[in-house]
Amino acid sequence: MSKLYVVPTPIGNLEDMTFRSVRVLKEVDYILAEDTRTSGFLLKHYEIGTPMRSYHMHNEHKIVEGLAEQIMESENGFALITDAGTPAISDPGYLLVRKCIEVNIEVDCLPGATAFVPALVNSGLPCDTFYFEGFLPHKKGRQKKWLELSQLDKSIVFYESPYRVEKLLKEAQEHLGEDCHVSISREITKKFEETLRGAPSALLQHFESKPPKGEFVVVVHK
């Protein structure tokens, strides 16, 4: 029986690749990559010559059926990677994993980098139980989602871009209260990694003098 390997990739620091991940990527028949150009730098760094094929959010619905058949017929299996982190966590991957399970293809998800775990632990906010939201809807359903989240008595984890992180802070203040606790981690594992903690108003004031840059993980708790 062939296999689909779900392989996490570094979220910034190339040293966070595991030995097992490198071995698997060298042994499989094909690597399914979210962006072959981005993944090309990683494969070159680790001298991985396995051919890549494109698998991303814009084509996954169309090709998932055919891919499952090809994985089933492959000798050494396929590996699925994304630009950074663990596939299917706010990234493409879920549809292919589900399809492989449906047709009895073994799925092996390797442990590895996921941005929200170090951000949550480093926040200092309760992490024995938490809610992972990922990216909020940009428009439709956003208000309804906030109403649902406001009922939770646990840490809530978001992914956000530098262009919308201030909007997220204002909404957190509105729905969770001015005194809610916020921790913002950016550029995790990279050279300019930084974590800021405080009330939404204090963090908004910070960004007035220092505009947000990089990718953010935001943890909030009422």
Q: What is the pLDDT of residues 24-33, one digit of tens each?
A: 999 999 999 9
**Positive/negative CA dihedral, 118, 93, 151, 138:** positive
- Residue at which a domain ends, from 39, 74, 109: 109
Cβ atoms 108, 4 nearer than 8 A? yes
Same domain flag for 90 and 146? no
- How far apart are the C-alpha atoms of 168 and 88, rounded to whole Å? 23
- Residue at which a domain ends, from 52, 84, 109: 109
- Residue at which a domain ends, from 109, 127, 153: 109
Q: In what order do the strands lie in the sheet with 3-6?
A: 52-54, 30-33, 78-81, 3-6, 106-109
Q: Record the pTM.
A: 0.92
**Positive/negative CA dihedral, 9, 90, 127, 123:** positive
Instruction: Provide the domain count of the chain.
Output: 2
Cβ atoms 127, 34 nearer than 8 A? no
Radius of gyration (Cα) for the chain, nearest Å? 19
Same domain flag for 94 and 130? no
pLDDT of 171 strictly over 70: yes
Same domain flag for 134 and 89? no
Owning domain of residue 130:
116-221
What percent of the chain is predicted at pLDDT more than 90? 95
Which position has the token pair 């390997």? 5
**What CATH number is associated with residue 63?**
3.40.1010.10
